[in-house]
Amino acid sequence: MRFNSHSFIYPIFLILLITICHCAPSQSNDEVFQKYVPRTVSISLDSEDLFGKKRWVGSGFLISKDGNVLTCAHVIGEQTKKLVLRVGGLGKRYFGKVIAMDLRKDIALVRLEAKENFDFFEINSNNKSKRGEVYFSISAPIGFEDSFSTGFVADPERIGVDSIDSELGFLQVNQSILPGSSGSALFGVRGNLLGMAQFQIRNSEHNQSGIGFAILPKYLNEFLSSVEDMEHPKTEILRGIVEVPLLTEFLIQKLNLPSNEGVLVSYLVEKSPAEKAGLKRYDFIIEVDGIKIKNNEQLFQRFKAKDTSERITIKIIRNRSEKTILIEP
């Protein structure tokens, strides 16, 4: 039997050609950037005017065509009225109003003051990433807006990161979350939202770059569902108390706190009932009306259960000593 080398080579060549075509990326990185940059925003707290030089302190992303934006609550901080947001790509600027905020979950909802239709990311709680999956991000690290980065998912749901709620899961990625990138969308090549960039953990002893963590879509949806039922801003319910969203081991050691069971005061709304009562920054709340509280959610529920005309008695730890404070209506 005579062997025909051509009949043997051609099928192999055809298989290789099909494999190469199949494996080739459908979109280049530049195409991904151009397609999704209009869904992203940079955030400035300087809201005196729209124009002029701005310091972009954080990032966010659009979640509806009418201009609703999600970002991290710590990006906004005490700024609860107006913001300036720059939509990615063309760079058009808008004023934004804070609609709702959850300091414990570190999520804030902002609405652009505009009568336009925007491109946006859909939030699907069923979107689950896989280890090694490529993700993309467009943010304002250290104030440089429209910065494009990419990396890999290190763990689709890392637990044990939050010192208060050890069962709370985070998306872990192999790149750092730099200052200014918090609040940005981490998304897949098809525009599927994988998470919202939140923070990084570094090993200071070895001066290593940090590991990035993001809030999962399911927690973003939980927050948005609760916003619809919120009659009053959270700070109003808490009578001016704004809590530290994440009580880390570093804070516990630095402030000499007895444990992680309690709520640390980040700051107080000016002239609020809590400020007038004498509560101070870094006070550690351990009881409300004689009932021990372990975390921010329990504090919120205790305050929410009280009528606005009622007094609230809280027990705090300040400078390692217990103190009782009465908050008037």
Of 194, 209, 230, the residue that ends a domain is 230
- Domain assignment present for residue 5? The answer is no
- 32's torsion region: left (phi>0), alpha (psi -120 to 50) or beta? alpha
Domain region containing 90: 25-230
pLDDT at 238 over 60: yes
In the three-class reduction of DSSP (H, G, I as helix; E, B as strand; rest coil), residue 125 is classed as: coil
Whether residues 84 and 203 share a domain: the answer is yes
pTM greater than 0.75 (yes/no) = no
- Name, in order, each residue with C-beta under 8 angstroms of 193's C-beta and a sequence gap of 6 or more: 61, 121, 122, 123, 124, 127, 185, 186, 187, 217
pLDDT at 54 over 60: yes
pLDDT at 19: 47
Domain CATH code at residue 238: 2.30.42.10
DSSP 284-326: EEEEETTEE--SHHHHHHHHHTS-TTS-EEEEEEETTEEEEEE
Structure-derived torsion over alpha carbons of residues 50, 52, 55, 61, reported in degrees to the nearest 10: 40
Dump pLDDT digits (tens) for 67-108.
999 999 999 986 567 899 999 998 999 999 898 888 888 999
- Domain assignment present for residue 270? The answer is yes
Whether residues 220 and 238 share a domain: the answer is no
Whether residues 79 and 187 share a domain: the answer is yes
Whether residues 146 and 271 share a domain: the answer is no
Question: Structurally, how many domains does the chain consist of?
Answer: 2
Whether residues 92 and 37 share a domain: the answer is yes
Dump pLDDT digits (tens) for 163-207.
666 678 899 998 888 889 999 999 999 999 999 999 888 766 555
DSSP 241-258: EEE-S---HHHHHHTT-S
Whether residues 192 and 290 share a domain: the answer is no
Of 200, 230, 260, the residue that ends a domain is 230
Does 248 or 78 have the greater pLDDT score? 248
Of 196, 230, 264, the residue that ends a domain is 230
Whether residues 243 and 184 share a domain: the answer is no
Q: Report the pLDDT averaged over residues 255-259.
A: 89
Of the chain, the percentage scoring pLDDT greater than 90 comes to 49
Whether residues 260 and 209 share a domain: the answer is no
pLDDT at 301: 81
pLDDT at 42: 96
Distances (CA, A) of 144 to 30, 72, 121: 18, 18, 22
- Domain assignment present for residue 321? The answer is yes
DSSP 197: E
- Domain assignment present for residue 181? The answer is yes
Whether residues 82 and 207 share a domain: the answer is yes
pLDDT at 100: 86
pLDDT at 323 over 90: yes
Domain CATH code at residue 99: 2.40.10.120
Whether residues 189 and 139 share a domain: the answer is yes
Of the chain, the percentage scoring pLDDT greater than 70 comes to 85
- Domain assignment present for residue 19? The answer is no
Whether residues 253 and 220 share a domain: the answer is no
- Domain assignment present for residue 13? The answer is no
Alpha helices in 62-216 (DSSP H): 73-76
Whether residues 218 and 314 share a domain: the answer is no
